[in-house]
Structure 1
Protein backbone atom coordinates (compact mmCIF):
# COMPACT_ATOMS: atom_id res chain seq x y z
CA UNK A 1 0.00 0.00 0.00
CA UNK A 2 1.26 3.47 -0.72
CA UNK A 3 0.02 6.55 1.06
CA UNK A 4 -2.22 6.63 4.09
CA UNK A 5 -5.92 6.50 4.85
CA UNK A 6 -8.05 9.00 6.72
CA UNK A 7 -10.11 7.41 9.46
CA UNK A 8 -12.88 8.55 11.78
CA UNK A 9 -12.26 8.40 15.52
CA UNK A 10 -14.97 5.72 15.83
CA UNK A 11 -13.27 3.50 13.24
CA UNK A 12 -9.86 4.19 14.79
CA UNK A 13 -11.22 3.05 18.15
CA UNK A 14 -12.27 -0.25 16.57
CA UNK A 15 -8.71 -0.79 15.31
CA UNK A 16 -7.28 0.03 18.75
CA UNK A 17 -9.69 -2.36 20.44
CA UNK A 18 -8.20 -5.16 18.33
CA UNK A 19 -5.04 -4.63 20.37
CA UNK A 20 -2.12 -4.42 17.97
CA UNK A 21 -2.13 -0.83 16.67
CA UNK A 22 0.14 2.02 17.76
CA UNK A 23 -0.82 5.68 18.10
CA UNK A 24 1.71 8.37 17.23
CA UNK A 25 0.64 11.70 18.76
CA UNK A 26 2.44 14.63 17.13
CA UNK A 27 1.08 17.40 19.37
CA UNK A 28 3.27 19.46 21.71
CA UNK A 29 4.30 18.20 25.16
CA UNK A 30 1.83 20.28 27.16
CA UNK A 31 -1.13 19.27 24.99
CA UNK A 32 -0.11 15.62 25.23
CA UNK A 33 0.23 15.84 29.02
CA UNK A 34 -3.19 17.49 29.28
CA UNK A 35 -4.77 14.48 27.55
CA UNK A 36 -4.05 11.87 24.92
CA UNK A 37 -5.32 8.63 23.45
CA UNK A 38 -4.60 5.73 25.78
CA UNK A 39 -1.13 4.22 25.16
CA UNK A 40 -0.27 6.88 22.57
CA UNK A 41 3.38 7.72 22.05
CA UNK A 42 4.23 11.38 21.62
CA UNK A 43 6.46 11.63 18.57
CA UNK A 44 8.58 14.64 17.64
CA UNK A 45 11.85 15.25 15.83
CA UNK A 46 13.83 14.37 18.96
CA UNK A 47 12.48 10.83 19.40
CA UNK A 48 11.50 10.05 15.80
CA UNK A 49 14.52 7.79 15.10
CA UNK A 50 13.82 5.71 18.23
CA UNK A 51 10.12 5.48 17.41
CA UNK A 52 10.84 4.38 13.84
CA UNK A 53 13.32 1.73 15.02
CA UNK A 54 10.97 0.32 17.67
CA UNK A 55 7.64 0.36 15.82
CA UNK A 56 6.52 -2.51 13.62
CA UNK A 57 6.02 -1.30 10.07
CA UNK A 58 3.42 -4.01 9.41
CA UNK A 59 1.00 -3.19 12.24
CA UNK A 60 -1.56 -0.37 12.02
CA UNK A 61 -0.21 3.09 12.88
CA UNK A 62 -2.74 5.77 13.81
CA UNK A 63 -1.45 9.35 13.68
CA UNK A 64 -3.10 11.98 15.86
CA UNK A 65 -2.70 15.76 16.00
CA UNK A 66 -4.94 18.58 17.24
CA UNK A 67 -7.66 18.70 14.57
CA UNK A 68 -6.67 16.14 11.92
CA UNK A 69 -4.69 18.39 9.59
CA UNK A 70 -1.03 18.04 10.60
CA UNK A 71 -1.49 14.31 11.10
CA UNK A 72 -2.05 13.89 7.37
CA UNK A 73 1.46 15.12 6.55
CA UNK A 74 2.94 12.96 9.30
CA UNK A 75 0.93 9.93 8.12
CA UNK A 76 2.25 10.45 4.59
CA UNK A 77 5.79 10.63 5.98
CA UNK A 78 5.38 7.35 7.88
CA UNK A 79 3.94 5.72 4.78
CA UNK A 80 6.93 6.89 2.74
CA UNK A 81 9.23 5.38 5.39
CA UNK A 82 7.75 1.93 4.80
CA UNK A 83 4.88 1.72 7.28
CA UNK A 84 2.27 -0.30 5.42
CA UNK A 85 -0.97 0.45 7.31
CA UNK A 86 -1.07 4.14 8.26
CA UNK A 87 -4.10 6.22 9.23
CA UNK A 88 -4.65 9.91 9.98
CA UNK A 89 -7.38 10.39 12.58
CA UNK A 90 -9.95 12.87 11.25
CA UNK A 91 -10.72 15.63 13.74
CA UNK A 92 -7.58 14.87 15.75
CA UNK A 93 -7.58 14.63 19.51
CA UNK A 94 -10.28 17.31 19.77
CA UNK A 95 -12.75 15.00 18.01
CA UNK A 96 -11.35 11.85 19.61
CA UNK A 97 -12.05 13.03 23.17
CA UNK A 98 -15.69 13.64 22.26
CA UNK A 99 -16.16 10.30 20.49
CA UNK A 100 -14.07 8.05 22.75
CA UNK A 101 -13.60 9.66 26.18
CA UNK A 102 -13.11 6.21 27.69
CA UNK A 103 -9.91 5.92 25.59
CA UNK A 104 -8.38 9.18 26.89
CA UNK A 105 -5.63 9.54 29.47
CA UNK A 106 -5.56 12.77 31.41
Structure 2
Protein backbone atom coordinates (compact mmCIF):
# COMPACT_ATOMS: atom_id res chain seq x y z
CA UNK A 1 0.00 0.00 0.00
CA UNK A 2 1.48 3.36 -0.99
CA UNK A 3 1.64 6.36 1.29
CA UNK A 4 -0.02 8.60 -1.29
CA UNK A 5 -3.16 6.43 -1.13
CA UNK A 6 -3.22 6.72 2.68
CA UNK A 7 -2.76 10.49 2.51
CA UNK A 8 -5.59 10.76 -0.02
CA UNK A 9 -7.95 8.81 2.23
CA UNK A 10 -6.95 10.93 5.24
CA UNK A 11 -7.58 14.15 3.33
CA UNK A 12 -11.02 12.91 2.24
CA UNK A 13 -11.91 11.97 5.82
CA UNK A 14 -10.76 15.37 7.13
CA UNK A 15 -12.80 17.19 4.45
CA UNK A 16 -15.92 15.18 5.31
CA UNK A 17 -15.53 15.88 9.04
CA UNK A 18 -14.91 19.59 8.40
CA UNK A 19 -17.99 19.78 6.15
CA UNK A 20 -20.16 18.13 8.82
CA UNK A 21 -18.85 20.48 11.54
CA UNK A 22 -19.36 23.60 9.43
CA UNK A 23 -22.91 22.58 8.52
CA UNK A 24 -23.66 21.80 12.15
CA UNK A 25 -22.46 25.24 13.24
CA UNK A 26 -24.44 26.95 10.46
CA UNK A 27 -27.59 25.05 11.46
CA UNK A 28 -27.05 26.00 15.10
CA UNK A 29 -27.00 29.69 14.13
CA UNK A 30 -30.11 29.30 11.95
CA UNK A 31 -32.37 27.76 14.58
CA UNK A 32 -32.84 28.01 18.32
CA UNK A 33 -33.16 24.59 19.93
CA UNK A 34 -35.80 24.46 22.64
CA UNK A 35 -36.38 22.00 25.46
CA UNK A 36 -39.73 20.22 25.42
CA UNK A 37 -41.05 22.63 28.07
CA UNK A 38 -39.97 25.70 26.07
CA UNK A 39 -41.38 24.15 22.88
CA UNK A 40 -44.74 23.45 24.56
CA UNK A 41 -44.87 27.02 25.90
CA UNK A 42 -44.66 28.59 22.44
CA UNK A 43 -45.78 26.26 19.68
CA UNK A 44 -49.51 27.06 19.92
CA UNK A 45 -48.80 30.67 18.92
CA UNK A 46 -46.58 29.61 16.03
CA UNK A 47 -46.56 27.55 12.86
CA UNK A 48 -45.91 24.00 14.06
CA UNK A 49 -44.21 22.09 11.25
CA UNK A 50 -43.35 18.39 11.18
CA UNK A 51 -40.62 17.96 8.54
CA UNK A 52 -40.76 14.14 8.54
CA UNK A 53 -42.16 12.26 5.58
CA UNK A 54 -45.95 11.78 5.30
CA UNK A 55 -45.80 8.13 6.37
CA UNK A 56 -43.95 9.08 9.57
CA UNK A 57 -46.37 11.95 10.18
CA UNK A 58 -49.39 9.66 9.74
CA UNK A 59 -47.97 7.19 12.27
CA UNK A 60 -48.03 9.91 14.91
CA UNK A 61 -47.35 13.64 15.24
CA UNK A 62 -47.63 16.47 17.72
CA UNK A 63 -51.24 17.57 18.03
CA UNK A 64 -51.79 20.61 15.79
CA UNK A 65 -48.73 20.05 13.58
CA UNK A 66 -48.75 20.51 9.84
CA UNK A 67 -46.72 18.17 7.65
CA UNK A 68 -44.15 19.80 5.36
CA UNK A 69 -41.57 17.11 4.61
CA UNK A 70 -37.96 18.28 4.45
CA UNK A 71 -37.74 16.69 0.99
CA UNK A 72 -40.37 19.20 -0.20
CA UNK A 73 -39.17 22.29 1.68
CA UNK A 74 -37.50 23.80 -1.40
CA UNK A 75 -40.74 23.75 -3.39
CA UNK A 76 -43.23 24.47 -0.60
CA UNK A 77 -41.47 26.92 1.74
CA UNK A 78 -43.68 29.81 0.54
CA UNK A 79 -46.60 28.12 2.33
CA UNK A 80 -45.02 29.37 5.57
CA UNK A 81 -45.64 32.87 6.85
CA UNK A 82 -42.58 34.98 7.58
CA UNK A 83 -44.36 37.09 10.21
CA UNK A 84 -45.01 34.18 12.60
CA UNK A 85 -42.53 32.01 14.51
CA UNK A 86 -41.88 28.58 12.98
CA UNK A 87 -41.52 25.59 15.31
CA UNK A 88 -39.93 22.66 13.49
CA UNK A 89 -39.40 19.07 14.49
CA UNK A 90 -38.42 15.71 13.02
CA UNK A 91 -37.44 12.44 14.68
CA UNK A 92 -34.10 13.55 16.12
CA UNK A 93 -33.53 17.25 15.16
CA UNK A 94 -31.26 16.61 12.17
CA UNK A 95 -33.81 17.20 9.39
CA UNK A 96 -35.41 20.11 11.23
CA UNK A 97 -31.98 21.74 11.56
CA UNK A 98 -31.35 21.42 7.82
CA UNK A 99 -34.85 22.74 7.06
CA UNK A 100 -34.22 25.74 9.33
CA UNK A 101 -30.92 26.43 7.60
CA UNK A 102 -32.70 26.50 4.23
CA UNK A 103 -35.53 28.70 5.55
CA UNK A 104 -33.05 31.13 7.11
CA UNK A 105 -31.41 31.46 3.69
CA UNK A 106 -34.83 32.39 2.28
CA UNK A 107 -35.24 35.19 4.81
CA UNK A 108 -37.25 33.45 7.53
CA UNK A 109 -36.50 34.41 11.12
CA UNK A 110 -37.82 33.15 14.46
CA UNK A 111 -36.98 29.51 13.72
CA UNK A 112 -37.12 26.99 16.55
CA UNK A 113 -36.67 23.24 16.79
CA UNK A 114 -37.52 20.62 19.39
CA UNK A 115 -34.45 19.33 21.21
CA UNK A 116 -34.19 15.59 20.60
CA UNK A 117 -37.08 15.64 18.15
CA UNK A 118 -40.33 13.68 18.17
CA UNK A 119 -38.66 10.57 19.61
CA UNK A 120 -38.27 12.41 22.94
CA UNK A 121 -41.69 14.13 22.86
CA UNK A 122 -43.96 13.26 25.78
CA UNK A 123 -46.83 15.65 25.00
CA UNK A 124 -50.07 15.09 23.11
CA UNK A 125 -49.82 13.02 19.92
CA UNK A 126 -52.26 12.38 17.11
CA UNK A 127 -52.18 9.41 14.70
CA UNK A 128 -53.72 9.39 11.23
CA UNK A 129 -53.66 5.68 10.46
CA UNK A 130 -55.49 4.91 7.25
Q: TM-score range by the shorter chain?
A: 0.7 to 0.9
Could you tell me which residue of structure 2 aligns to residue 25 of structure 1? Answer: 50
More helix by share: 2
TM-score (norm 1): 0.79
CA displacement 1:6-40 (0-9 Å, x = unmatched): 11121111002xx4301221112221101101221
Bigger CA radius of gyration: 2
Q: Distance in 2 between matches of 1:80 and 1:87?
A: 15
Equivalent of residue 6 in structure 1, options 27, 30, 33: 33
In the TM superposition, residue 48 of structure 1 has moved relative to its aligned partner by: 5.1
Q: Distance in 2 between matches of 1:91 and 1:47?
A: 21
TM-score (norm 2): 0.66
Could you tell me which residue of structure 2 aligns to residue 105 of structure 1? Answer: 126
RMSD: 1.9
Could you tell me which residue of structure 1 aligns to residue 107 of structure 2? Answer: 82
SS at match of 1:57: coil
**Residue 37 of structure 1 pairs with residue 59 of structure 2:** no
